[in-house]
Amino acid sequence: MKTKFYIIQIAILLLGLIFGILAFDCYESGKWITALLFLCLSVFMIILNIRNAQQSGKETEQILQAINHKDFSLFPDKKQNDPLKQKAVDLYYQEKEKNTDVLSFKILYENILNQLDIGIMILKENTNDWEVFYSNPKFIEILKVPKYNRWSLYEEKSPEFFKLIKDTDYRESQDFMEVSINQAGFQTYSLRTTRLETPREDFCIISLESVQKIIERKEKMAWNNLMKVISHELLNTLTPINSLIRNMEYITDQEEISRDDQEEIKESLKIVNNKSEQLLNFINNYRQVAELPKPKLQKISIRPVIEKVLRLMESEFQNKSITVSTNIRDYMVMADEKMLERSLINLLTNALHAVEDLDNGKIKINTDQQNTRTVIQVEDNGIGISDQISDKIFLPFFTTRNSGSGIGLTLTKSIMEAHNGYINFRKQQQGSIFELWFT
């Protein structure tokens, strides 16, 4: 195609040149009419060549402009004689295919976002201002406002929401807002904003999710996890009991019971008794968590409580050659002293088991105050907490020790929540830190 185009162009030019020479020759010979005819043919060939070049250039420019404006409504032939136009056509169809892929993904992503039960709005920065790039139906349903393209219009329709977003400076944040659901009440929503910076444009992603649904989802997950643990414990206890009882039934059905059978019955009864005690301990441990009494809050000094617990556990630390260091500043907190003691014993017991196999096991207790909150920290240099179990350590009856009950951290968490505080843990390069936070 490329060669053919150039041959045609050259042929037209040569014909124009030949006709020009013939016109000149006829002019010299005095053949005026023939000279004029050849001159017209020469001019025609030159004009034809120029028009072909102009037409091809115009069509090439039109295709390039279509690519530039993302207008893919043209359908040029995929085979062109002009090599430059051919390249433009190839580029056009490449960009058209890319644009089709982008549109397909856009439709897919919009459909996914439209199905979410979370309100999503995406703002795009435009010359130091913001415009609405996208908002899903759930977002419009929550705010009960029309779907605007101009961000500034939301200031009038939903001023509280607009102010919350503006105060974040369109950057990473988390807050709560109340939305009227009817004339009688409100519903609380978790409001999150995230800044996304791309090489060409900046976006602010806003999400609104019902706090009630978040709580329900977490409660359901906690309940399912608890049922798994309880089912596992019951099966592990009742399955061998059931097997032993069937075996004893078989023995007692015999006409005569030998001495060996009698010994086997005695051994089976001991195992049944042992398993029954395990099940009772399991139930009692569950009751400790489920029936936690209301704390008797009073203003207490935390230093004497910590020192008392350390004295109680001193012999255990010495037996395992564990070094305990303290950096205790005395602070006053509103707490139930007995419950605080129990929480500290749980954390120190866990720290002890984490370092008991080390030659240089160390436990450190710190106290600090940040703003109006008081914190007690128990730090160890033990094996630490792996990522695989970090989200399970506060679940009831979850334990990594064969002799553990799995309620220590769960009970401590419940105690701290009853004190309007919380328990937190942080992983270190070696070991971990558990913190009790009081208001």
Residues 249 and 159: their CA atoms lie apart, in Å, by 76
Edge-first strand listing for the sheet containing 362-370: 323-327, 362-370, 373-380, 432-438, 422-427
pLDDT at 238 over 70: yes
pLDDT at 246 over 60: yes
Section 88-92 average pLDDT: 78
Question: What is the 3-state secondary structure of the chain?
Answer: CHHHHHHHHHHHHHHHHHHHHHHHHHHHCCCHHHHHHHHHHHHHHHHHHHHHHHHHHHHHHHHHHHHHCCCCCCCCCCCCCCHHHHHHHHHHHHHHHHHHHHHHHHHHHHHHHHHCCCEEEEEEEECCEEEEEEECHHHHHHHCCCCCCEHHHHHHHCHHHHHHHHHCCCCCEEEEEEEECCCCCEEEEEEEEEEEECCCCEEEEEEEEEHHHHHHHHHHHHHHHHHHHHHHHHHHHHHHHHHHHHHHHHHHCCCCCCHHHHHHHHHHHHHHHHHHHHHHHHHHHHHHHHCCCCCCCEEEEHHHHHHHHHHHCHHHHHHCCCEEEEECCCCEEEECHHHHHHHHHHHHHHHHHHHCCCCCCEEEEEEEEECCEEEEEEEECCCCCCCCCCCCCCCCCCCCCCCCCCCHHHHHHHHHHHCCCEEEEEECCCCEEEEEEEC
Q: Is 397 left (phi over 0), alpha (psi -120 to 50) or beta?
A: left
Give pLDDT, residue 262: 81
Is residue 181 very low, low, confident or very high in pLDDT (cuts 50, 70, 90)? low
Q: Which residue has the higher pLDDT, 39 or 349?
A: 349
pLDDT at 282 over 80: no
Task: Name which of 431, 435, 434, 437 is nearest 322 in CA terms.
Answer: 431
Q: Which residue has the higher pLDDT, 192 or 213?
A: 192
Q: Which residue has the higher pLDDT, 309 or 257?
A: 309
Report how far apart the first and last C-alpha atoms of the chain are (Å, whole number): 82
Q: Which residue has the higher pLDDT, 273 or 8?
A: 273
Residues 170 and 164: their CA atoms lie apart, in Å, by 10
Q: Which residue has the higher pLDDT, 428 or 343?
A: 343
Q: Which residue has the higher pLDDT, 215 or 415?
A: 415
Task: Return the structure tokens found at 231.
Answer: 């089912």
Give pLDDT, residue 179: 77
What CATH code is assigned to 298-438? Answer: 3.30.565.10
Q: 308-348, pLDDT tens digit by residue?
A: 888 888 888 888 888 889 898 888 999 889 888 888 988 88
Residues 68 and 165: their CA atoms lie apart, in Å, by 35
Q: What are the backbone dihedrals phi and psi of residue 241, each rounded to the nearest 5 degrees, phi first? A: -60, -45
Residues 376 and 191: their CA atoms lie apart, in Å, by 31
Give pLDDT, residue 321: 86
Give pLDDT, residue 400: 60
Section 32-40 average pLDDT: 71
Q: 365-374, pLDDT tens digit by residue?
A: 999 988 788 9
Q: Which residue has the higher pLDDT, 37 or 405?
A: 37
Query: Is the CATH number 3.40.50.300 carried by domain 117-212?
Result: no
Choice among 227-236, 255-264, 316-325, 329-338 with the minimum mean pLDDT: 227-236
Give pLDDT, residue 364: 92
pLDDT at 131 over 60: yes
All structural domains of the chain with their residue ranges: 2-102, 117-212, 215-290, 298-438
Residues 237 and 272: their CA atoms lie apart, in Å, by 9
Considering the chain, what percentage of its residues have pLDDT values greater than 70? 78
pLDDT at 404 over 60: no
Residues 373 and 375: their CA atoms lie apart, in Å, by 7
Residues 154 and 161: their CA atoms lie apart, in Å, by 8
Indicate the pTM of the whole model: 0.45
Q: Which residues contact 304 (CB under 8 A, 6 or more apart)?
A: none
Whether residue 174 contacts residue 206, with contact meaning beta carbons closer than 8 Å, is answered with no
Give pLDDT, residue 216: 67
Choice among 78-87, 125-134, 160-169, 263-272 with the minimum mean pLDDT: 78-87
Q: Which residue has the higher pLDDT, 392 or 348?
A: 348
